[in-house]
Amino acid sequence: MTLVCWQGVRRLGVRPTLPMPSLWLALLRASIPFGVIGFTLGLSYKFDTILLNIYAGDTATGYYNSAYNLIFSVLVISNVVNTALYPSLARQSVTRPETLPAIQQRMLRYLLLIALPITVGGSVLAPYMIGFLYGVDYAAAALPLSILIWVIPFMFVTEFLGYVIVVNGAERRVAWAIALSTTINVGLNVLLIPIYGILAAALLTVFTEAVLLSQYAWVLRDKLRVMDWNLTLLRPALAALLMGGIVYWLRDLYLPLDIMVGAVVYLALLFALGVVGRPEFDLLQNLRRQQAG
């Protein structure tokens, strides 16, 4: 990886120069918000597990982590999409800022299209997923999974909106928002995990991300106000809920088959509700042409 990155840097014409101490302080100051973001996110993601292990023991922590790790496996999708999109957003903000609102709405819709069926279907099928993946000995992990999985749409959206705010040059707002939500997370975990254990840890994970989303929504309120939320959220949510009812009705089927049926039903509902259509086909065709080229 180091070799590939070094070759890429050389192709860009970047060459080492002599140290310039006069720039160091300014660079350090500029990096502080990103350091705060990284530290507080890491603390927020791990603090509940540490407390849970102290107050509830290894067994309860194992059940919780088995569910928690499944959630973070899904979040790789969001991370890949947002990380790949960030350089394009930064470029567009300089070269063609007028195109950003349309791009942001489309990407937010696509992220929710992915997150909502996973959330609804996963919540409905949580006991069956735990049994299929871990066996009956891990049945106690079904409850935290059915709660934790509702953090997925929040995290998909907050990661994207955080990049949008950073692109607008307001990374300090992102740092303050994450610091506040992490402080709330740590404080409530200290108060509630000793009493309610796994249930508190799972609920607070979702609540903390909702607090972060509310802060981002306030910062971006002018941009979000003009979005078509019927197409971006309401119709996809309706499709996901209808799909959830069907997969619950078929819950006694073989789990992979039930998931495939749910995926087909969800896609059909998206077409029927007008959420996806010709623009998405054109986008896929353009991507294929670029890969072929």
Q: Which residues of the chain have pLDDT under 70?
A: 279-293
CA separation (Å) from 282 to 267, 277, 285? 17, 9, 5
Question: For residue 203, what pLDDT is reported?
Answer: 95
Question: For residue 281, what pLDDT is reported?
Answer: 66
* pTM metric for this prediction: 0.86
Give the separation between CA 145 and CA 153, rounded to whole angstroms: 14
Question: For residue 40, what pLDDT is reported?
Answer: 87
Q: pLDDT (tens digit, 9 = 90+) per residue, 74-99?
A: 988 888 888 888 887 888 777 887 77
Q: Where are the domains of the chain?
A: 32-223
- DSSP letters spanning 111-122: HHHHHHHHHHHH
Question: For residue 199, what pLDDT is reported?
Answer: 93
| Closest of 148, 152, 156, 4 to residue 80, by C-alpha | 156
196, 147 Cβ separation under 8 angstroms: no
Question: For residue 290, what pLDDT is reported?
Answer: 54
Beta carbons within 8 Å of 145's beta carbon, 6+ residues apart: 66, 67, 70, 71, 122, 126, 129, 130
125, 251 Cβ separation under 8 angstroms: yes
Question: For residue 289, what pLDDT is reported?
Answer: 60
Give the separation between CA 134 and CA 64, rounded to whole angstroms: 13
Question: For residue 244, what pLDDT is reported?
Answer: 94
